[in-house]
């Protein structure tokens, strides 16, 4: 099956901001085609960690995304999950997660996506891979879930869309009215923390869900399917693109960099945000 959502929603006359968003959208769609092609074919993992793994598909998607960006914006800087700092000397930085939800992908689960964001970053500034202010400088973000055939795009000041239609966060104001997503993380310390938060949330939220793809989960908050989410121990490429979509849909992203360089985040609809912040402020065993 080929991508069906690409051309109809991309503008024919592009401003500089729309050039960035068009490139981000086309890049995640290209990665999605690669993901779809290999999905369910028994692709082997090439690097396995206790709670994570990497596949050839990750690298193939990243190469396709990078090539598309370089073809359009040859001087822009790029930060990618697999390749790291890929250089460049322009005033823009692209942040790439070529396959978010690799463990799901490997096990045949459909919750995965490709994520591409672009932010304005003057070339005289060093690449701030873990700078908390970086999220505020993001101009556009695109997330594509190929098995859902859903393309999410957020453009600063212009709103957020899914397959070209505007999306908004849930209007609900009570945890008992919404689903909350979370991830149990990769380290024992984070697993223990999230297990305690899960116990607290399970008593308050309508339901809890753990799907294991931060980018896809965040845009589900943007589209109103989830009221909020909690993730700990994730990376900037997990949240940059989806965070742009969330903010443009009216949502709130609270993110904090940890000493190990990972991020703890809360993504929520406006009416739910304070409720999640209150729960997270309750001390956990290993905080």
Q: Which domains does the chain have, with CATH numbers?
A: 7-166 (3.30.540.10), 175-280 (3.40.190.80)
Residue percentage of the chain with pLDDT more than 90: 58
**pLDDT tier at 16, thresholds 50, 70, 90:** confident
Strand bridging mode 92-100 / 77-80: parallel
Helix intervals (H) in 124-269: 188-202, 214-222, 236-248
d(CA 245, CA 116): 11
Q: What is the mean pLDDT of residues 128-137?
A: 69
Predicted confidence at residue 30, as pLDDT, reads 97
Does residue 211 come out as left (phi exceeding 0), alpha (psi in the -120 to 50 range) or beta?
alpha
Predicted confidence at residue 284, as pLDDT, reads 44
d(CA 49, CA 117): 27
CB 186 within 8 A of CB 234: no
Angle between helices 214-222 and 236-248 (to 10 degrees): 10
Predicted confidence at residue 197, as pLDDT, reads 85
Structure tokens at 105: 């992908």
pLDDT at 130 over 60: no
**pLDDT tier at 173, thresholds 50, 70, 90:** very high
d(CA 161, CA 262): 28
Predicted confidence at residue 205, as pLDDT, reads 92
Structure tokens at 246: 């969330």
d(CA 100, CA 241): 11
Which residue reads 């099956």 in tokens? 1
pLDDT at 19 over 80: yes
Does residue 33 come out as left (phi exceeding 0), alpha (psi in the -120 to 50 range) or beta?
alpha
Which residue reads 């000397």 in tokens? 89
Within the chain, strands assigned E span 45-49, 52-55, 77-80, 84-85, 92-100, 113-120, 138-145, 150-155, 159-162, 165-166, 179-182, 207-209, 228-234, 252-257, 263-268
The pLDDT tens digits of the residues spanning 46-95 come to: 554 444 556 788 899 999 999 999 999 999 999 988 877 777 888 899 99
CB 113 within 8 A of CB 65: no
Task: Tell me which residue of 51, 61, 59, 96 sits closest to 77, measured CA to CA.
Answer: 96
Instruction: Indicate the average pLDDT of the chain.
Output: 85
Rounded to whole angstroms, the maximal C-alpha distance in the chain is: 54
d(CA 134, CA 49): 28
DSSP, collapsed to helix, strand or coil, labels residue 145 as strand
Describe the chain by its helix, strand, coil percentages, rounded to 5.
Answer: 35, 25, 35
Query: Of residues 121 and 142, which shows the higher confidence score?
Result: 142
pLDDT at 270 over 70: yes
DSSP label at 164? T
């Amino acid at each position: 099956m080929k991508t069906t959502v690409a051309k109809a929603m991309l503008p024919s006359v592009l401003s500089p901001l729309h050039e960035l968003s068009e490139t981000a959208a086309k890049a995640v769609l290209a990665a999605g085609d690669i993901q779809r092609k290999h999905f369910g074919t028994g692709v082997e993992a090439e690097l396995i960690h206790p709670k994570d793994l990497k596949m050839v598909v990750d690298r193939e998607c990243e190469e396709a995304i990078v090539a598309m960006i370089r073809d359009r914006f040859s001087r822009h800087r790029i930060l990618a999950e697999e390749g790291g700092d890929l250089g460049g000397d322009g005033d823009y930085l692209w942040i790439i997660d070529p396959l978010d939800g690799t463990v799901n992908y490997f096990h045949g689960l459909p919750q995965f996506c490709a994520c591409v964001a672009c932010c304005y970053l003057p070339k005289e500034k060093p690449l701030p891979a873990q700078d908390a202010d970086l999220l505020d400088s993001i101009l556009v973000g695109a997330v594509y879930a190929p098995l859902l055939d859903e393309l999410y795009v957020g453009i600063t000041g212009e709103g957020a869309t899914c397959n070209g239609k505007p999306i908004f966060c849930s209007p609900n104001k009570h945890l008992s009215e919404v689903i909350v997503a979370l991830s149990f993380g990769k380290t024992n310390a984070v697993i223990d923390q999230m297990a305690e938060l899960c116990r607290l949330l399970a008593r308050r939220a309508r339901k809890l869900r753990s799907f294991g793809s931060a980018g896809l989960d965040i845009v589900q908050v943007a589209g109103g399917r989830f009221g909020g989410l909690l993730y700990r121990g994730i990376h900037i490429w997990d949240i940059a693109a989806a965070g742009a979509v969330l903010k443009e849909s009216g949502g709130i992203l609270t993110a904090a960099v940890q000493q190990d360089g990972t991020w703890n985040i809360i993504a929520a609809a406006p009416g739910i945000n304070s409720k999640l912040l209150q729960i997270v402020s309750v001390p956990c065993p290993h905080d």
